[in-house]
Amino acid sequence: MSANPYARTGKIAEELAALHFMLKGHYIFWPVVDNGADFVAMKDGKYEGVQVKRMNESGPSNMKNKDFDLLAIVGEQHIWIIPAVNLPGTGVEVLGANSKYHIFREERLHWEKHVARASR
């Protein structure tokens, strides 16, 4: 059985996004079945379904439905957390400097130092 490399990098992006939310004080819940969101983040009693995409050279793939509250796009150095209400119906444009989504860009939290501290 051969492993799909895109599925693997997609799962890594999901884990990095979940860690980003956890480091910001959210609890993370993983669905048993695919319901449109990759995970649910909860903070202060508010639950939000999060769909995760990884950034590649051409930007994230098109969004065909919006059965989620937040779109998390994971890049090398940044993560974009975009409310679904701010998304167009059919896709997301490339997240360059001139993109209207630049206001949602955050520095990706450096999880390596948190993992090292927790393992002591």
| pLDDT tens sequence across 83-105 | 888 776 555 554 555 566 655 66
The structural domains of the chain, ordered by start, are 5-118 (3.40.1350.10)
Per-residue DSSP letter, 33: S
Give CA–CA dist 46/83, Å, rounded: 14
| pLDDT tens sequence across 46-97 | 999 999 988 765 555 555 566 889 989 888 777 888 888 877 655 555 455 5
- Alpha-carbon distance values, 84 to 4, 22, 61, 76 (Å): 28, 20, 15, 22
